[in-house]
Amino acid sequence: MGGRRRSRLYSHEDEAIPNSADAPAPRREVGWRTASLWTELVRVLGASLLLTFFIVTFVGRAFTVEGPSMYPTLRSGERLIVDELSYRFTSPQRGDIIVFRYPSDPREFFVKRLVALPGEEVAIRDHRVWVNGQPLDEEYLQTETLGEFGPVIVPADHYFVLGDNRTNSADSRDPRVGFIPHRYIVGRVLWRYWPLDRIGTLRPPPQWQALARP
């Protein structure tokens, strides 16, 4: 009965009857609002799935996050679309979240945030990351960047990466990872398509682009 009652509320026929006894106007209005909400949800989900299919087919591939090293930006179990095409035409940018092959075992893939570019000086001190003598504004962090590191100069055609979860991340501070050769970079994380309540693009912090280049 519940199903039939809802179908009546959402039907065009009942909408055309101004004084229907079994479908009071207020309930019918709520029903239409609910129907509209579900319709919009289906449209958004359908568009997201189509976009995901297009990107996976023509631009990149899907990855699933494993582990907490990029928390809170990325969470274990989330599913991402990685753009494998753009870096063939443009260089990686500071702040990009990238997937790369683990230098100690290229069969494994890591996801980190790109912090420093080739030729730049990077250091960690006073609980902050410094690039070319300027501190990075990292509002997305939930834990402090502990310890001291550098300063070091990023070699040509290499990049310095860090996880957003600074207390639980194997990244360029770790000799097993170190600087990432450009040839090991798979691509830039473009789109998070799962879970549904966190669907969206992932962009670098805009203020990072103002840092002086080497």
Neighbours of 4 (CB within 10 A): 8
Rounded Cα distance between 115 and 159, Å, is 8
Predicted local distance difference test score (pLDDT) of residue 57: 56
Neighbours of 20 (CB within 10 A): 15
Predicted local distance difference test score (pLDDT) of residue 13: 41
The residues carrying an active-site annotation are: 69, 112
Give the 3-state DSSP-derived string for 109-141, with helices as H, strands as E and coil as C. Answer: EEEEEEEECCCCEEEEECCEEEECCEECCCCCC
pTM comes to 0.72
> Tens digit of pLDDT per residue, the chain (214 long)?
444 434 333 323 444 434 545 555 555 555 556 667 777 777 777 766 666 665 655 567 899 999 999 999 999 999 999 999 889 899 999 999 999 999 999 999 999 999 999 999 999 999 999 999 999 988 889 888 888 998 999 999 999 999 999 999 999 999 999 999 999 999 999 989 899 899 999 988 877 766 655 5
